[in-house]
Amino acid sequence: QSALTQPASVSGSPGQSITISCTGTSNDIGIYRLFSWYQQHPGKAPKLLISVAGKRPSGVSNRFSGSQSGNTASLTISGLQAEDEANYYCCAYAGNDTPWLFGGGTQLTVL
Amino acid sequence: QVTLKESGPVLVKPTETLTLTCTVSGFSLSAHAMGVSWIRQPPGKALEWLAHIFSDDEKPSSPSLKSRLTISKDTSKNQVVLTMTNMDPADTATYFCARSLNYGEDFDFWGQGTQVTVSS
């Protein structure tokens, strides 16, 4: 099972909105629709941003939202802030043989 | 308060076996559908899921690494142990443990990670 495909980098100015895509296949995102998003600052552990239920854990800003269309999951960050500069990873279920499949990660730069 | 903490050697030699321990608190490893995964991240690279252990002792693991991985738990000690055989410099990474509540569920709590370097 190959990793999910994410853009290597995205950028935006403070206040803008950006969307990070996570492209899978009909064997993971497309069929199971179970995916989550994580934020990772350098030298830190990943932090859950969007759960598989599409919800934000307590403490996560409502500027973060997730969606899905076909084989692609998306993370949208609105009202970009400097502290959003980090790496973002998607993770999807691909069946019981590969219960967790990560994307290659996207580095977000806030200009 | 849920916490996970990884421990293990910082440096291992090629061909050696790596043993990592994840000590958890704030939840029970025997609770229904509870589970802990090991996930690694080579320097500057992406996260890679390795293996998971559920409360009922089901143990899915990455198909590409299955032959080298063993995961186990000691419920009385609140610990999950991962062993990886035949270590290679390509296995140099930060290794995280993280909690998940069922197949395909998200990882809601993570440990801080432990860095492992494979070098002679």
Residue A80 near residue A64 (C-beta atoms within 8 A): no
Chain B closest-CA separation from residue A71 CA (Å): 16
pLDDT digits (tens, 9 = 90+) for B25-54: 999 999 998 999 999 999 999 999 999 999
Look at residue A1 in the predicted model and tell me its pLDDT.
65
> What is the percent of chain A with per-residue pLDDT over 90, rounded to a whole number?
88
Q: Is a pLDDT exceeding 80 seen at residue A10?
A: yes
Residues 6+ apart with CB under 8 A from A69: none
The CA distance from B9 to B26, in Å, is 25
Which chain B positions have a beta carbon within 8 Å of A9's beta carbon?
A: none
Q: Is a pLDDT exceeding 90 seen at residue B103?
A: no
Which chain B positions have a beta carbon within 8 Å of A98's beta carbon?
A: 49, 60, 62-63
Choose from A100, A102, A106 for mutation: most chain B CBs within 10 A. Answer: A100
Which chain A positions have a beta carbon within 8 Å of B35's beta carbon?
A: none
Can you read off the two tokens belonging to residue A39? 């934020």
Query: In the predicted model, what is the mean pLDDT of residues A71-76?
Result: 96
Average of per-residue pLDDT values in chain A: 95
pLDDT digits (tens, 9 = 90+) for A94-105: 988 888 999 999
Q: Beta strands B11-12 and B3-7: pairing type?
A: unpaired
Query: In the predicted model, what is the mean pLDDT of residues A70-99?
Result: 95
pLDDT digits (tens, 9 = 90+) for B1-13: 999 999 999 999 9
Q: Do B96 and A46 touch (CB under 8 A)?
A: yes
Look at residue B33 in the predicted model and tell me its pLDDT.
86
Q: Beta strands B11-12 and B114-118: pairing type?
A: parallel
Chain B closest-CA separation from residue A15 CA (Å): 28
Nearest to A93 among B37, B103, B108 (CB): B103
Average of per-residue pLDDT values in chain B: 96
Which chain B positions have a beta carbon within 8 Å of A32's beta carbon?
A: 104
